[in-house]
Amino acid sequence: MFVVSRIAAVSAAALLMSATAASAEETRVRARYDLTLAGFSIGAASMQAGVDGKAYDMNVSVRLTGLARFLTGGRGAATSRGVLEAARPVPSAYAINTKSGDKGQVIRFALASDAVSQLSVEPPSKTNGIVPLTEADKKGIVDPVSALMMPAPAGADPLTSAACDRVLPVFDGRQRFDVTLRYDRTEDVKAAKSGAGQYSGKAVVCKASYKAIAGHKPGRKQVTFLESNRDMEIWLAPVAGTRALLPWKIAVRTEVGLAVIQASSFVVGAPADRTARGADL
């Protein structure tokens, strides 16, 4: 379940910090995702994101169900906020709370001048045999939630290869790793649910690769598997009225089958649309 929990961490949200009040110019996205492993349903995830000029906030939550929940008790929530600079997000704060079985973790960090300035990790990370994290590993990074917010370069069409061609320098509080994206193709997508604001149109499909940098144990089976994995994709949908793209689908090959997170609902609109959509998707 390592890869599934990694997806949950990279896809997780909204427990430990509250979002700032929405302005009239803010664009909100409310999405719900189905989680499957080897074709079997294992849970659901939700995402709420807002873009107001250059500022953004994101909240993601993940809950495993059925046998997956019985085996792991897995659930998690995370949140992040920051600003969009050029073609990347620059986070200012991040927090995550996850629970799997009888184990849980809470990680919080704040950033200033594009570097981690405060960090709290509970329980503390193990250090035996681990590649040590340096201060350089905590600079110029994105947290796992902000990594899902991918702005297109200024003036560029978001539905081009430029949406994919990037390296995400991710720091999750325990580990530093790179996710390299490269353009593969464009697909037509449509939400399974109908209603006002539901996205229907093009999605850019990026191939992804993983490289451990620090905070990991060299030679660990799961790390080696991820680094050699060439069957990872992320589908990105544009957020109308902004430069941002957000995940429509994430697919990762695991040792027990293909893990997929795919949008069943993807609503884009202004804050005033929230009441009409209801509290839950």
Please, is 21 exposed, middle or buried when counting C-beta atoms within 10 Å of its C-beta (0-12, 13-18, 19+)? exposed
pLDDT for res 213: 98
Q: Tens digit of pLDDT per residue, the chain (281 long)?
A: 444 444 444 443 333 333 334 444 789 999 999 999 999 999 999 999 999 989 999 999 999 886 555 445 578 999 999 999 888 999 999 999 998 777 889 999 999 999 999 999 999 998 999 999 999 999 999 999 999 999 988 777 889 998 999 999 999 999 999 999 999 999 999 998 888 889 999 999 999 999 999 999 999 999 999 999 999 999 999 998 898 999 999 999 998 899 999 999 999 986 544 433 333 32
Measured distance CA(245)–CA(139) in Å, rounded: 24
What element of type H or E holds 264? strand 257-269
Can you spell out the DSSP letters for 84-114?
EETTEEEEEEEEEEEEETTEEEEEEEEEETT
DSSP single-letter state for residue 271 = G
- What residue segments make up the domains of the chain, in order of their start? 2-270
In single-letter form, the type of residue at position 66 comes to G
What element of type H or E holds 254? strand 244-254
C-alpha distances (whole Å) from 239 to each of 29, 51, 163 are 8, 9, 12
- Range 249-256, long-range pairs (CB < 8 A, 24+ positions): 249/189, 249/203, 250/7, 250/11, 252/3, 252/7, 253/229, 254/3, 254/4, 254/37, 255/3, 255/225, 256/37, 256/38
Say how many CA atoms lie within 13 Å of 160 toward its Cβ: 9
Question: How many residues are there in the chain?
Answer: 281
- Three-class SS of residue 132? coil
Measured distance CA(15)–CA(184) in Å, rounded: 34
Q: What are phi and psi of 221, to 5 degrees?
A: -55, -45
Report residue 64 as tokens: 């495993």
pLDDT for res 277: 35
pLDDT for res 193: 83
Residue whose C-alpha is closest to residue 151's, from 139, 166, 163: 163
- Cβ-contact 148, 247 below 8 angstroms: yes
pLDDT for res 86: 81
